[in-house]
């Protein structure tokens, strides 16, 4: 049995046979600041993520999960290490290339939803579909998250769960390869949280999107293909679920 | 419309009052720029077309008398294209309805055909024809307007001692008399001074000048040197009593028009620039705040794949909308005001037609300048926003670090209430922002000073010129300089209480290449009527040797007291002498030079002579006095001081008053705009903190006190700075309108300062009131929840 601390599992997730990973990461490190004030957020992370997987990143606050997610999403560049997206060296992308990468390949869901308050649900989605290559129509994306009938409401007129589902619709409308969710249920109650997770699960299953979810709620690990646990900027544990639980079966 | 633009429009709706405030400030600057520049263009192009069509001459000369044959000599000068000779005589008029005698300048019209140069424009009626039963005259429009003269009216003139009645054939204008003022005067006096035209034969015959001329106008061939032609003309005319030829830039009417254009030029740059800078600053403040509020939205846009350029351009568009609004308002207001103001010029300038011409080049420049101002204003904020890595921007801004304010650290804490302390700490925490707000408030105060300093300057000039300098009731001029004993004749006119003689001699001052033609006035050493006054309003006793001149003249000639100046006497026995400059006099209209009467006469070498007298007339005997003056043929002119003062009030003062009102209105709008905006931004920045205070149990009043306290501290700090700034602006702008014909002194009155303070204080109070109203609307729960 390989040491999970030293390296990621040799075999990819159970559902996927040997095929090229979406993300290929080796020795990824991210430091902020210089000299004595330097803070190490990531201290050598190795992992491979595959299409169609649902990944959960667990860890205490400050463990480096958000930093890792930002690296994967092209929001930030690594200090050192290998960061490849479909064989392309993401670490070497310049600002313009990263923008294109985010625009075409990545869907983000944030804990604070980050909707534009002056635009309706449909407009918030349309804002993004306008700049993508082959997006869904906003209505379709909103239907996927169960909001077909709330399309013309402004964020202030929607509940937290609804707002987060609009954010998911916004993220998936571009048909991204990767859906990156940073504490998507962090601000929600259990029942609402589950509807949001169901939406993510559905996208992952129906569109085959690689979904990476950050949480500190260990219960959510049950719905993942693989669970990575981070501590002090390193992956300290990796496990795979033989069977993924459905989001609606989760309880916390 | 893209959804990002939809967001823009909806966000702007929330910002509408602030955006409107910025747009209005910008509009004020643009309107001023467009108005003044368009007026410049209107004047310039109207003048140029008029000069061209009516063949305004380029070189002018007066002389005693030359036979017509000399004309050919002049025409033969290399560089001369056309020569127009004629007769020009000053006569005394008896105008129906006017108690005092008026002075008319009679100009001859050629016997056959139109004049070659300086062709009159006939407004109504026709030019006079010779050999009519009653002699005919054409009259200048300015004079006709004041006296309500129409073609067919009659008036009497004393030609060479003979009173003759004339019928007016028509009302005309001439490029030579766009601005019509008595010789040597910078101010129009259309009541007692008019210009007339009559056929050569009649005018020449009356003055025994038939077959001769005493005035000449010349146009130049392309490429000819004016200087060389002037010198040649002087040589040709010297034997005939030539009084020195001069070019257009010394032509009184032309120079007055040029000066007006120069004044507009001065006003068209500095003041609008201040306004546009203020608008740029306000755009920056509004946009910085807006971007700070939308930090998370910017991060989301970038995370979702919007490029820096797209995000940056989105925020630039905010200011673009403001610019468009500002430009639209600015152009509308500029055109409207320009149309109103162009009519004002009819008070001074007589053109066949003076219409408002919109300067489209300045329009383009205005759009560019204001766009730049707005972009410069917003660039920094946008750059900061797009530079922020999305991951960073997603987190709320780190809480600001506070510390006790300086005054508290110095031990002043116990003097202040907690809310006032919060206000002080807030100011000190963001020194640049506070400094800029303070500066904006100071600018608002400062720009209010400028227009009112114009008004006070005019009031001062009126008092100074006609109370301190001139104390006579009337100035009487002899037809020809006469012996000194003529003074006693003046003294014996009915009602005359006191009379002081003066001599008036046309001269040419020269200093290096600079040359100015005006008159030297000979006055008693310590005259009590027409006095020579220095900058500290103390009378300068005229020295037995040397000359006293306007400070402005000395500036132009680049000489100082103690230097010698070359003076060429253009009357009687022409000669050039060097005279030391004894002192500088303060005056505001035109330029003048003074000498002690005896000293001047010694210089002229033609004995004790006087040109006329300044007299004080007893009030009750006024009609009797005027009657006597009218019936004294030796008296050519009678200038009533109060009439001149009134003329000034109605023309110069009124036009400056119009500009002043326009600027004061703009300045008030800007002051309100700046202050309102500052209050809005301050409110927005602090909504969360203030809501927290409310939740913690502070009353609305106490919370309002924090916000208002900040505004009060900044306003109080800004006011003195604003007064200093405003005084500087006023000085700078007045220097820009300081010309040879009109100058305004820098007069800063407590009333002016008080008005500025009052406006700023009122605007602050209203803004504070508004802010505290808004404070009541803050929903405590959502203010605490939401990040904005």
β-strands B514-523, A210-214 pairing:
unpaired
A96 to chain B, minimum CA–CA distance in Å?
A: 7
Rounded mean pLDDT of chain A?
86
Reading the block at residue B274, the tokens are: 């201040």
Mean pLDDT of B760-775: 82
Binning pLDDT at 50, 70 and 90, where does residue B788 land?
very low
Residue pair B317/B382 in contact (Cβ under 8 Å)? The answer is no
Q: How far is CA B763 from CA A112, B156, B440, B750, in A?
A: 39, 61, 13, 20
Q: What is the mean pLDDT of residues B237-257?
A: 87
> What span, in angstroms and rounded, lies between the C-alpha atoms of B409 and B498?
73
> Residue B97 to residues A7, B75, B105, B194, B621: CA-CA distances in angstroms?
115, 44, 19, 15, 18
Rounded-to-integer distance, Cα A72 and Cα A57, Å: 12
Q: How many CB atoms lie under 10 A from the CB of residue B116?
A: 17
Q: Which of B775, B692, B672 is nearest to B422 (CA)?
A: B692
Residues of B in contact with A73 (CB under 8 A): 303
Token pair for B514: 């600079």
Indicate yes or no: CB of B7 within 8 angstroms of CB of A126.
Answer: no
Q: Concatenated DSSP letters for B140-198?
A: EHHHHHHHT--TT-EEEEEETTEEEEEEEEEEEE-GGGSB---TT-SS--TTTEEEEEE
Look at residue A133 and tell me if it is in a domain: yes
The pLDDT of residue B61? 92
User: How confident is the model over A116-160, as pLDDT tens digits?
Assistant: 888 999 999 999 888 888 888 999 999 888 888 999 999 989 988
- The per-residue pLDDT for range B365-416, each reduced to its tens digit, is 878 877 887 777 678 777 877 776 666 656 655 555 566 666 666 666 666 6
- Exposure of B439 in the CB half-sphere (CA atoms within 13 A): 13
Q: Are B712 and B764 in contact (CB under 8 A)?
A: yes
- Give the residue from B556, B452, B573 showing the smallest Cα distance to B513: B556
Note whether residue A82 is domain-resident.
no
Average pLDDT over residues A84-97: 91
Q: 3-state SS of B738-755?
A: CCCCECCCCCCCHHHHHH
A102 is a domain residue:
yes
C-alpha B763/C-alpha B757 separation (Å) is: 10
* Distance of alpha carbon B725 from alpha carbon B670, whole angstroms: 15
Q: Say which residue, B172 or B263, is predicted with more confidence.
A: B172
Contacts of A134 (CB under 8 A, 6+ apart): A175
pLDDT at residue number B782:
59
Residue B148 DSSP class: T
The whole domain housing A102 covers 51-76+95-249
| Within a domain: A17 | no
Is A102's CB within 8 Å of B304's CB? yes
How many CA atoms does the CB half-sphere of B529 hold within 13 Å? 20
Tens-digit pLDDT profile for residues B10-69: 988 888 888 898 898 889 888 988 898 999 999 999 999 999 999 999 999 988 899 999
Is A108 close to B304, i.e. CB distance below 8 A? Answer: yes
* Contact status of A108 with chain B (Cβ, < 8 Å): yes
Closest CA to A180 of B293, B390, B292: B390
Chain Cα centroid distance, residue B644: 19
Q: Residues near B750 by Cβ (< 8 Å), separated by ≥ 6?
A: none
ipTM over 0.95: no
Q: Which element (helix H / strand E) includes B707? A: helix B700-736
Chain B residues with beta carbon closer than 8 angstroms to that of A115: 300
| 3-class SS of residue B338 | helix
Which domain CATH number covers A58? 3.40.50.300
Order of strands, sheet of A54-59, starting from the edge strand that comes earlier in the sequence: A106-109, A178-182, A210-214, A54-59, A226-231, A234-240
Within a domain: A72: yes
Cα end-to-end span (Å), chain B: 27
- Phi, psi for A210 (deg, rounded to 5): -70, 120
Q: Cβ atoms within 10 A of the Cβ of B534, count?
A: 14
Helix (H) or strand (E) holding B61: strand B59-67
Chain B hits for A108, Cβ within 8 Å: 300, 303-304
The total domain count for chain A is 1
Per-residue buried b or exposed e for A189-214, using 16+ beta carbons within 10 Å of the residue's own CB: eeebbbbbbbbbbbbbeebebbbbbb
Interface contact flag, B394 A114, Cβ < 8 Å: yes
Q: Are A76 and A70 contacting, i.e. CB atoms less than 8 angstroms apart?
A: yes
Q: Do B304 and A70 touch (CB under 8 A)?
A: no
């Amino acid at each position: 049995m390989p040491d999970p601390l030293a390296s990621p599992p040799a075999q990819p997730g159970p559902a996927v046979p040997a095929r090229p990973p979406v993300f290929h990461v080796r020795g990824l490190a991210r430091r902020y600041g210089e000299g004595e004030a330097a803070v190490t957020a990531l201290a050598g992370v190795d992992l491979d993520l595959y299409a169609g997987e649902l990944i959960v990143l667990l860890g205490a606050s400050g463990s480096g999960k958000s930093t890792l997610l930002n690296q994967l999403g092209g929001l930030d560049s690594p200090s050192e290490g290998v960061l490849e997206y479909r064989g392309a060296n993401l670490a070497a992308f310049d600002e313009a290339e990263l923008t294109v990468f985010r625009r075409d390949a990545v869907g983000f869901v944030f804990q604070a939803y980050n909707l534009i308050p002056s635009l309706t649900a449909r407009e918030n989605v349309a804002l993004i579909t306008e700049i993508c290559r082959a997006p869904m129509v906003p209505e379709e994306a909103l239907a996927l998250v169960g909001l077909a009938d709330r399309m013309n409401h402004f964020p202030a007129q929607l509940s937290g769960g609804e707002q987060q589902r609009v954010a998911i619709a916004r993220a998936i409308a571009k048909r991204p390869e990767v859906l990156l969710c940073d504490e998507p249920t962090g601000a929600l109650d259990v029942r609402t949280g589950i509807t949001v997770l169901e939406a993510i699960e559905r996208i992952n299953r129906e569109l085959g999107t690689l979904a990476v979810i950050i949480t500190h709620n260990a219960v959510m690990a049950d719905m993942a293909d693989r669970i990575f646990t981070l501590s002090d900027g390193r992956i300290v544990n990796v496990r795979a679920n033989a069977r993924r639980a459905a989001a609606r079966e989760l309880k916390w | 419309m893209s959804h990002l633009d939809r967001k823009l429009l909806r966000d702007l709706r929330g910002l509408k009052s602030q955006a409107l405030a910025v747009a209005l400030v910008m509009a004020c600057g643009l309107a001023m720029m467009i108005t003044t520049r368009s007026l410049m263009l209107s004047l310039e192009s109207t003048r140029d077309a008029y000069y061209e069509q009516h063949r305004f001459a380029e070189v002018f000369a007066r002389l005693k008398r030359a036979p017509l044959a000399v004309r050919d000599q002049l025409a033969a000068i290399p560089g001369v294209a056309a020569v127009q000779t004629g007769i020009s005589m000053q006569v005394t008029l008896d105008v129906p309805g006017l108690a005092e005698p008026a002075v008319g300048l009679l100009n001859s019209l050629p016997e056959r055909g139109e004049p070659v140069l300086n062709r009159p424009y006939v407004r109504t009626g026709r030019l006079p024809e010779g050999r009519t039963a009653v002699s005919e005259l054409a009259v200048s429009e300015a004079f006709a307007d004041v006296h309500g003269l129409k073609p067919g009216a009659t008036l009497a003139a004393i030609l060479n001692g003979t009173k003759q009645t004339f019928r007016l054939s028509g009302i005309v204008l001439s490029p030579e008399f766009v601005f019509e003022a008595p010789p040597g005067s910078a101010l129009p006096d259309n009541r007692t001074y008019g210009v007339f035209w009559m056929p050569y034969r009649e005018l020449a015959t009356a003055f025994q000048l038939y077959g001769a001329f005493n005035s000449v106008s010349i146009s130049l061939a392309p490429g000819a040197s004016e200087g060389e032609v002037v010198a040649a003309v002087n040589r040709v005319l010297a034997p005939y009593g030539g009084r020195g030829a001069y070019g257009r830039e010394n032509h009184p009417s032309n120079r007055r028009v040029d000066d007006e254009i120069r004044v507009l030029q001065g006003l068209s740059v500095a003041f609008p620039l201040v306004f546009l800078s203020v608008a740029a600053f306000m755009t920056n403040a509004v946009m910085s705040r807006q971007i700070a509020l939308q930090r998370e939205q910017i991060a989301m846009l970038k995370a979702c794949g919007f490029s820096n350029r797209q995000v940056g351009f989105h925020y630039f568009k905010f200011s673009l909308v403001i610019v468009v609004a500002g430009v639209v308002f600015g152009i509308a207001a500029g055109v409207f005001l320009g149309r109103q103001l162009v009519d004002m010029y009819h008070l001074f300038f007589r053109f066949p037609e003076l219409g408002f011409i919109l300067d489209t080049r300045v329009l383009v420049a205005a759009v560019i300048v204001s766009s730049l101002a707005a972009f410069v204003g917003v660039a920094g904020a946008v750059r900061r926003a797009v530079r922020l890595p999305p991951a960073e921007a997603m987190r709320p801004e780190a809480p600001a670090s506070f510390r006790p304010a300086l005054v508290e650290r110095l031990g002043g804490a116990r003097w202040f209430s907690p809310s006032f302390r919060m206000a002080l700490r807030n100011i000190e925490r963001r020194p640049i922002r506070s400094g800029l707000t303070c500066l904006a408030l100071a600018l608002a105060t400062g720009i209010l000073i400028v227009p009112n300093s114009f008004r006070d300057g005019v009031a001062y000039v009126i008092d100074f010129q006609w109370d301190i300098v001139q104390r006579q009731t009337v100035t009487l001029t002899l037809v020809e300089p006469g012996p000194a004993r003529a003074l006693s004749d003046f003294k014996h006119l009915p009602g005359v209480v006191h009379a002081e003689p003066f001599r008036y001699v046309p001269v040419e001052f020269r200093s290096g290449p600079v040359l100015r033609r005006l008159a030297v006035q000979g006055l008693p050493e310590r005259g009590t009527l027409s006095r020579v006054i220095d900058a500290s309003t103390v009378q300068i006793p005229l020295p037995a040797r040397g000359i006293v001149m306007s400070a402005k003249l000395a500036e132009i000639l680049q000489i100082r007291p103690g230097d010698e100046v070359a003076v060429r006497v253009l009357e009687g026995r022409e000669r050039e002498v060097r005279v030391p400059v004894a002192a500088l006099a303060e005056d505001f209209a035109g330029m003048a030079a003074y000498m002690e009467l005896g000293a001047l006469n010694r210089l002229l070498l033609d004995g004790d002579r006087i040109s006329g007298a300044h007299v004080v007339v007893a009030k009750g005997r006024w009609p009797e006095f005027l009657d006597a003056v009218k019936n004294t043929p030796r008296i050519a002119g009678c200038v009533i001081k109060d009439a001149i003062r009134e003329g000034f009030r109605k023309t110069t003062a009124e036009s400056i008053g119009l500009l002043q009102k326009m600027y004061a209105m703009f300045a008030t709008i800007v002051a309100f705009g700046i202050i309102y905006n500052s209050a809005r931004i301050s409110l927005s920045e602090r909504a969360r903190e203030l809501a927290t205070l409310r939740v913690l149990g502070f009353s609305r009043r106490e919370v309002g006190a924090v916000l208002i306290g900040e505004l009060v501290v900044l306003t109080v700090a800004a006011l003195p700075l604003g007064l200093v700034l405003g005084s500087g602006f006023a000085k700078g702008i007045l220097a820009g309108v300081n010309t040879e014909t009109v100058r305004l002194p820098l007069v800063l009155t407590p009333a002016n300062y008080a008005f500025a303070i009052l406006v700023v204080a009122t605007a602050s109070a209203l803004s504070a009131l508004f802010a505290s109203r808004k404070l009541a609307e803050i929903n405590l729960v959502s203010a605490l929840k939401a990040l904005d």
